Each structure stands twice: as structure tokens, then as C-alpha cells.
Structure 1
Amino acid sequence: MRSFLTALQFLTRIHIVSQKDLTMADFGRSTKFFPLVGAVLGAIYLLAALLLYVLFGLQGYTIKAVLVLLPILLTGGLHCDGFMDTVDGLFSGRSRERMLDIMKDSRTGSFGVVAFGAMLLLNWSLLMDLPVPVLLIAVFVMPIIGRMAMLFAVAYFPYARPEGMGRAFAEMADRKAVLIGLVTALLFTAPWGLAALAALLLSLLWAYVLGRWAEKKLGGLTGDVYGAVELTTETAVLAAFYLFAFLPFDRSALFLWM
């Protein structure tokens, strides 16, 4: 329970108990619960979407904007900051050392701001185009798969810096943690059908491709790259559901609850 609460309170703004005596090892041990934290967030997103559907329907522009902004509010923009820092560094065209310095800088550059704005627009557009039943499934599994992809990246790739909180995650995320996280992700995604399982598989593939590219640039991954993996994976999940929703197949074969 301690490790789960550590993961929940680190990755979100949901603070239940005071944890003032946490060590780096405590943060590291919490990685196996990342997908479970995603399930908590997914349940909140789903409940919010259902409430909005009952009150206003889900066809309006503003409603979809609320669903785009809700993850930012509940996570405090944690992964958004990592995504923007990663874009600033990796697309700077500088040396490895300079890229790492840029990513460590608390200021956000123009590359990061433009990329983040484009991602928000893409997420909003995908939600606008998804049929309502598919949208409800997508908003639930999206944070679960995103955090499973992040756990995979943490465990699979080396850490680029000699120190930092991300190193504690990388050192403690072993095969057992990945297995626990994967079982959790499967338990919460498999009941939704083949489309959700395919989105999970494609997202892990995306996490590998992005992680491998970042590793070649930086010699490893950083906490910012972990955030970028999570955030871009959520967008990849929405894109996968968009693709599956409009394939010329019987939707009941892809989405068990339709």
C-alpha cells in the first residue's frame, strides 16, 4: 500500500496521506504500480465523461476540451513539462551534454511550447472524431497504457544522468515490476476488447521506438523522456482507437461493449 500511495501521490495531484519520510528507494519501488495509478485516473476520466454525457452530451467542442484538460489538472502537468523539455533538448541539434543541459533548464523553449500546443490540438481533434462508446473506452484505458509504456521505458533503457530521481526509478524497475505492471494493464484493458489490447501492444512498440531514439541521442533516458513517453503514448492510444473505430470491420469484434 505504501508503494502504491507513493506512486499515486507522485504521479497525480491526488494526495491522501502525508509521506514526508520518503527515500529514493521508496520512489523506485513504486514503479510497479504506475499502471494501477493509470487505472485510478482512467476511472476518474470515465466518470467525468459519463457525467458530461448525461448532462450535456459529448458532441460539443467545449466538452471535449474539458476532457483534454482534465488529465493536466489531475497530474499537475507533470508529464507535460517532461514532454516540452524533451522536445527542446532532442530537437536542439546540439551535443549530448548540451541537450541534457537544455532539458534540465526550468525554462521552456519555443520548440516545446509549439509541440505541446500541437499535441493538445491533436488530442482534442481525436476526441471530437471518436464515436461516443469508443471515446468512453479510450479515456479509461489511455492513462493505464500510457503509464505501462512509461514503466517499460524506465525498465528497459539505461538512465542518462549520473544522478537524479529518474535513476532511482531505473534501478528499481526490474523484470518483476514490469510483469506486475503488465498484468495490471492487461486486467484493465482486456475486458474492453481486441482494440484495447492492440492499442496496448502498439503503444509498447511506440515506447520502444521513442526510447531507442532518445537513447541514441542522449546515451540513455531521463525523467523528462519518461514523461514524454507517457504523454505521447496517450495520444497514440487515441489515434489507435480512431483507426480501429473507422476500419471496415464489425465493431463488436474490436470493442466488446458495443
Structure 2
Amino acid sequence: MKGKCRECLDSVLLALQFYTTLPIKKELSMDEARLKKALYVVPFIGIGIGLILAAIIVLNEHVLHLPATVIAMLVVTIPLIITGGLHLDGFMDASDAFFSYRDQQKRLEIMADPRTGSFAVLSVIFLLAWRYVFILETIKLASDITFVFIVSVYYFARFSMCYVFIFGKLAKQDGLAAFFKKGLERKDIFVFLIGILLFFVFVAYFNIHAVSGTAILLLIALGFAVVSKGFIEKQFGGISGDTLGATLEGGETILWFTLWLLHSFAMGLQ
């Protein structure tokens, strides 16, 4: 029992060590069991990020009263600081490779190249600019239940990435994606689904009116994951660390877009 608890704690620390910039200075065993459980933790890192951002928005509304433009910029920036830009780097590399319009093998070589191309720069500018717009407009229309949706955005975006990771085939048998996929099976998706079910229980407890909007965000995230998996396998021959990062960053932007649409056109977000 003690060994299992130690393994679970190591997995949490391993996830924080790899997916965030938190100073976890500890040598950790990276066996298959710990790597699998570390992936289980990833969506909950999203919950933590979402809670921080929601708290900032609430604090600003009641105490700080800073311009919405400043808060929107903080919401864009803080997740990048927490993750060290890990996933955004993957998005840039994948963009460089995709817009090269080369064959699959050459695209994999481009993603492995540490140099940054013009397509990567242009892609990340458009991605973050549009995300900023969606965040800004959502903040202007925010209601009490908006804060639940913000947490959902960062939770479900990471669920999308994990879905692609579990069900997608590897583009190559080396690299970080192959290393972290050790021991991962399709049935592991049920662990994530149980987590989502518990999340909905907490959402319903907080505000029953937020359940429908949260469900819409989950459906969009799942649909995006399915489409992303097919797109990645067609364009790159399979998943890699970079394409997984691109999935997460694209998922966050799509979900912010959905959240803006819900506030702009859907009824009942009061």
C-alpha cells in the first residue's frame, strides 16, 4: 500500500516536473506505471490553471478593476508562464512542418529541427491574437458561471490532447511521445472519463445551470480531438510530442471561441 501511494505521488510530481515550470527538484523513476499515471494528472493541471485565471478575473471584478484588455492579456500570458511554453513550442514546430507542404518524412525532419521558421512565427501570432480576442470579448460578457467554463476550457483542452495520445498511432518509435506512451492502453481512457464525470458532479453542485454549457464545451473538445487525430495521422503519419502540443494549443483556442459564442448568442448564461 505504501509503495502504491509513493508511486502515485511520484507520478503527480513527474507530471508537474515535465508539464509545468514548478521547481520540482527531485530524481524520479520514470517506469511505465509512473509515466501512465503522470498522464492521468495532466487534465488536472488544466483545472489548476483554470482556477488561477478564474480567481484573477473575480479579483479584478471585485477589487482591482483593471481594464479588460489587461486581464485578457494576463489570461493569455499566465498559462504560458506556468507551462514554460512547452505546448506552444510544439504548435510552432508542427506549423512549420505542415506549411512546408512536404511529404510526411520531411515534415517529421522539420519538426525535429530546432530552428524556427517564418510559418511558425506567423502561426503563433495568429493563434494568440485570436485567442486574446475571444478571451477579451468573453470577459466583457462574463457572468457568475463563466468562471466554471474557464476551468472547463483548460481541463477539456488537456483531455483532447490525452485522447489523441491514447488513440493515435506514433509517427516514430523514438522521442518523447513514444517514451511517455509506454504501457498506455486504449482502456486507460476510462480513467479520464471517470474524472470528467466527477468534474460534472462538482459543476452541478456549484451551479446546475452551468452543466449544459460545460457539456457543450466537452462535446466540442471531443469532436476537436477526433478531427485532430485524423488530421495528424494524415499529414504527419502519426502523433509526436509537437503535434500533441499543437492539439492542446488549438483546443484551448477553439474552446475559448466556443465560450465566446455561448456568451454572445446562447441564452441562459446569466
Fold shared, TM-score > 0.5 on shorter chain: yes
Deviation at 1:73, TM superposition (A): 0.6
* CA spacing shift, 1:217–1:143, aligned 2, 3 Å: same
Given that 2:167 and 2:186 are in contact with CA atoms closer than 8 Å, whether structure 1 keeps it comes out as no
Q: Which residue of 2 aligns with 1:38?
A: 46
Q: CA RMSD in A?
A: 1.9
From 182, 194, 197, the counterpart of 1:183: 194
* CA spacing shift, 1:166–1:247, aligned 2, 3 Å: same
Q: Which residue of 2 aligns with 1:63?
A: 71
Given that 2:172 and 2:240 are in contact with CA atoms closer than 8 Å, whether structure 1 keeps it comes out as yes
Equivalence map 1:16-95=2 (5 Å): 17-23=24-30, 25=32, 26-57=34-65, 59-95=67-103
| Distance in 2 of aligned mates of 1:86 and 1:193 | 34
Structure 2 unaligned blocks of 5 or more: 1-8, 204-209
Question: 2:264 is aligned with what amino acid?
Answer: F
* Aligned residues between the structures: 251
SS of alignment partner, residue 162 of structure 1: coil
Identity %: 27
Deviations for 1:34-82, whole angstroms, at most 9, x for unmatched residues?
Answer: 1122112222222222223333336521221111111101110010000
| Distance in 1 of aligned mates of 2:252 and 2:263 | 17
* CA spacing shift, 1:213–1:19, aligned 2, 3 Å: same
* CA spacing shift, 1:248–1:224, aligned 2, 3 Å: closer
Question: Does 1:132 find its partner at 2:139?
Answer: no
Q: Which residue of 2 aligns with 1:120?
A: 128
Equivalence map 1:140-151=2 (5 Å): 140-151=151-162
**TM-score, scaled to structure 2:** 0.86
Q: Max radius of gyration: which structure? A: 2
Deviation at 1:144, TM superposition (A): 0.6
Given that 1:160 and 1:219 are in contact with CA atoms closer than 8 Å, whether structure 2 keeps it comes out as yes
Deviation at 1:152, TM superposition (A): 0.1
| Distance in 1 of aligned mates of 2:28 and 2:40 | 20
**TM-score, scaled to structure 1:** 0.90
Structure 1 unaligned blocks of 5 or more: 252-257
Given that 1:155 and 1:178 are in contact with CA atoms closer than 8 Å, whether structure 2 keeps it comes out as yes
